Amino acid sequence: MFVIIGLVVLFGCVFGFYILHHGPMAPIIEAAPTEMGIILGAGIGAMIIGNSMAILKGVGAGIGKCMSGPAYHKQEFQDTITLITKLFKLLKAEGAVALEPHIENPESSSIFGEYPKLLKDHALIGMICDTIRLLVTSNQPPNPETVADNLTVAIKTHHHSALKPATALANLEGALPALGIVACVLGVVKTMAAIDQPPAILGALIGSALVGTFLGVFMAYGIVGPLAARLAQIIDEEGQIYAVAKFTLIGHVRGDPVPLIIESARAAIDHHSAPTFAEVFDGLRGK
Q: Indicate the domain borders of the chain.
A: 1-287
d(CA 82, CA 283): 7
In this prediction, residue 202 carries a pLDDT of: 79
In this prediction, residue 39 carries a pLDDT of: 94
Taking a C-beta distance cutoff of 8 angstroms, is the pair 271, 238 a contact?
Answer: no
pLDDT, averaged per 10 consecutive residues of the chain (287 residues), comes to 90 92 87 90 94 95 92 94 94 88 92 94 94 83 89 95 96 95 89 82 83 93 96 96 96 92 94 91 77
In this prediction, residue 249 carries a pLDDT of: 95
Taking a C-beta distance cutoff of 8 angstroms, is the pair 89, 254 a contact?
Answer: no
In this prediction, residue 27 carries a pLDDT of: 84
In this prediction, residue 1 carries a pLDDT of: 74
d(CA 215, CA 87): 55
Neighbours of 84 (CB within 10 A): 23
In this prediction, residue 201 carries a pLDDT of: 82
Whether this prediction's pTM lies above 0.85 is answered by: yes
In this prediction, residue 195 carries a pLDDT of: 82
Residue 97: partners with Cβ closer than 8 Å, 6 or more residues away:
none
Tally of residues, the chain: 287
Taking a C-beta distance cutoff of 8 angstroms, is the pair 240, 72 a contact?
Answer: yes
- Of the candidates 242, 224, 272, the residue with the CA atom closest to the CA atom of residue 46: 224
